[in-house]
């Protein structure tokens, strides 16, 4: 998240929280596509993680990007921690270990997403090359240990770093050593949100397999194709997972509010100060009974910031976030929005996708999610492999994009962005398996060549 929400409107009741979500609904003509992608910066000379300070560090990188873009800096305690395009809505932010993230502006087509990505990478290279900085598109840092990772000067990350070891073994690895690509999509009503949420939750493991790209850590294979996805299984069960209750009768905005109210908080922000309330209840803040802020009531800022600290496989804000995929090489990044837009934004595609998953039980969905990090396409549900499901989903997505009929300047529709995924499904091996084949073959048991072959 690039910037904390600033809206000190006081919240009076649970109804205000429900209304906040309801306000996200918009007509299909106003649907937009948001794409967020993270990448690891590293030193070209030694393939080391990039520190924040120093003449060739992340601060220098952000300052250089500010000069090129003219975007407004995001500051915290005198440190530049991001940039925001106040005109169009895009932003650059830092994850805890220095992962460099572009939160793309909400755009109408995947063509625009691709153009935005290409412009961002061109601008980034212009600044990074003289500084000797490269970027890596993988889901997991392939060689660096947790202790080697830098720490970004952000108050929310300091609080999270202290809390994570209390609720899981791998939360700090999630924070400091993983990267993802994410697609954010709109809904038109509560019913539309529920249907899209259910379809995307059920099929998130298919997206995980198609983008599985994190088989290494500390220079060795992990035994997983998406170790990033496996890490989430032991991070913080209170705020992650497959949300089985989302498939139960009565699901809607109110049910999500009740879920979010039961997720322990990390912080409350007042002015520039992050107040550590990790593990405490938003219900208490809503009622003015929070121990750390006696008598003070919750604001819209508090709610929006709290919702941003919930991490299920699909997250509801005022839009839906697809969160199950590893970072990948830049040419494949537009494939993620193409996949989900084709499935969710076309009504016939959404119906077809729902038909694939509507009879699955909560236990079956969870078993599939548990298998995929290790098995990828070989995971199964009801006797069908994820590879078969992926091929079905890609066919549905392609048909949906054809019906959308959004053409670029050359008359090409959005289906061309599915090609990298269709190639993966045709050969039947995940990106991680391709990496492992190189590791055991031409790379001679070394991970280091990844910094040359997979760098942006």
Q: What average pLDDT score do residues 311-339 get?
A: 97
Q: Which pLDDT score is estimated for 243?
A: 98
Does the pLDDT value for residue 133 go beyond 80? yes
Which residues touch 279 (CB under 8 Å, ≥6 apart)? 163, 166, 264, 265
Tokens 């280091």 sit on residue = 448
Q: Is the pLDDT of residue 446 over 80?
A: yes
Q: Largest Cα–Cα distance in the chain?
A: 64
Q: How far from chain centre, in Å, is Cα 242?
A: 15
The three-point CA angle 353-206-381 to 5° equals 85
Q: What is the pLDDT of residue 72?
A: 97
Please tell me the predicted confidence (pLDDT) of residue 415.
Answer: 98
Beta bridge partners of 135: 41
The predicted model scores a pTM of 0.97
Q: Tell which residue, 164, 185, 192, 193, has the closest CA to residue 176.
A: 164
Taking residues 177-181, report their average pLDDT. 98
Q: Taking all residues of the chain, what is their mean pLDDT, rounded to a whole number?
A: 97
If residue 370 lies in a helix (H) or strand (E), which one and from where to where?
A: helix 362-375
What residues have CB less than 8 Å from 265, skipping those under 6 apart? 277, 278, 279, 280, 281, 282, 285, 306, 309
Q: What is the rounded average pLDDT of the residues 418-436? A: 98
Q: If pLDDT is split at 50, 70 and 90, which confidence band does 345 have?
A: very high
The pLDDT confidence band at residue 261, using thresholds 50, 70 and 90, is very high
The number of beta carbons lying within 10 Å of the beta carbon of residue 317 is 16
Q: In which band, very low, low, confident or very high, does the pLDDT at 7 lie, cut at 50, 70 and 90?
A: confident
- State the DSSP code for 122: H
Q: What is the mean pLDDT of residues 404-431?
A: 98
> 30-68 pLDDT, tens per residue?
999 999 999 999 999 999 999 999 999 999 999 999 999
Query: What is the mean pLDDT of the segment spanning 209-219?
Result: 98
Instruction: Give residue 198's pLDDT.
Output: 99
CA-CA-CA-CA torsion sign (163, 165, 168, 172): positive
pLDDT of residue 408: 97
Residue 5, pLDDT above cutoff 80: no
DSSP string, 156-205: HHHHHHHHGGGT-SSHHHHHHHB-EEEEEE--SSHHHHHHHHHHHHHHHH
Q: Which pLDDT value is given to residue 3?
A: 63
Per-residue model confidence (pLDDT) at position 280: 95
The pLDDT score that the predictor gives to residue 2 is: 54
Q: For the packed helices 335-344 and 190-210, what is the interaxial angle rounded to 10 degrees? A: 140
Question: Quick one: pLDDT band at residue 292, thresholds 50, 70, 90?
Answer: confident
Per-residue pLDDT band at 8 (split at 50, 70, 90): confident
Q: Is the pLDDT assigned to residue 1 strictly greater than 70?
A: no
d(CA 305, CA 334): 28
Q: How far is CA 378 from CA 6, 24, 70, 386, 430, in A?
A: 45, 37, 47, 6, 10
Average pLDDT over residues 85-101: 96
Q: Is the confidence at residue 342, as pLDDT, over 70?
A: yes
Q: What number is the average pLDDT over the span 76-94? A: 96
């Amino acid at each position: 998240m690039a910037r904390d929400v600033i809206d000190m409107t006081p919240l009076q009741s649970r109804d205000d929280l429900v209304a906040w979500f309801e306000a996200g609904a918009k007509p299909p003509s106003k649907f937009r596509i948001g794409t967020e992608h993270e990448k690891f910066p590293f030193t070209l000379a030694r393939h080391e993680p990039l520190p924040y300070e120093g003449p060739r560090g992340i601060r220098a990188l952000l300052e250089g990007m500010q000069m090129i873009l003219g975007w407004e800096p995001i500051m915290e305690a005198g440190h530049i921690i991001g940039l925001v395009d106040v005109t169009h809505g895009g932003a650059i932010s830092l994850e805890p270990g220095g992962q460099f993230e572009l939160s793309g502006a909400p755009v109408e087509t995947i063509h625009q997403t691709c153009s935005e990505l290409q412009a961002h990478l061109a601008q980034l290279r212009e600044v990074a090359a003289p500084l000797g900085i490269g970027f890596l598109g993988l889901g997991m840092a392939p060689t660096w240990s947790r202790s080697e990772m830098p720490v970004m000067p952000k108050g929310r990350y300091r609080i999270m770093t202290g809390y994570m070891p209390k609720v899981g073994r791998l939360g700090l690895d999630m924070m400091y050593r993983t990267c993802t690509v994410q697609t954010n999509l709109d809904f038109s009503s509560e019913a539309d949100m529920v249907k899209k949420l259910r379809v995307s939750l059920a099929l998130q493991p298919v997206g995980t397999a198609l983008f599985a790209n994190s088989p290494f850590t500390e220079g060795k294979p992990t035994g997983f194709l998406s170790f990033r996805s496996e890490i989430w299984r032991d991070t913080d069960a209170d705020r992650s997972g497959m949300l089985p209750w989302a498939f139960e009768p009565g699901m809607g905005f109110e049910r999500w509010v009740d879920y979010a109210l039961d997720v322990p908080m990390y912080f409350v922000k007042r002015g520039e100060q992050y107040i550590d309330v990790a593990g405490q209840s938003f219900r208490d803040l809503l009622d003015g009974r929070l121990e750390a802020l006696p008598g003070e009531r919750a604001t819209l800022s508090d709610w929006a910031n709290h919702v941003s600290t919930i991490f299920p496989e699909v997250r509801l804000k005022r839009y839906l976030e697809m969160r199950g995929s590893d970072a990948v090489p830049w040419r494949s990044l537009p494939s993620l929005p193409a996949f989900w837009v084709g499935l969710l934004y076309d009504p016939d595609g959404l119906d077809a996708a729902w038909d694939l998953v509507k009879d699955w039980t909560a236990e079956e969905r969870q078993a599939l999610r548990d298998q995929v990090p290790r098995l990828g396409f070989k995971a199964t549900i009801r006797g069908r492999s994820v590879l078969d499901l992926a091929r079905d989903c890609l066919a549905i997505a392609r048909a949906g994009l054809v019906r959308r009929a959004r053409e670029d300047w050359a008359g090409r529709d959005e289906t061309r962005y599915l090609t990298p995924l269709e190639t993966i499904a045709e050969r039947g091996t995940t990106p991680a398996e391709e990496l492992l084949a190189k590791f055991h073959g031409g790379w001679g048991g070394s991970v280091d060549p990844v910094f040359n072959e997979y760098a942006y």
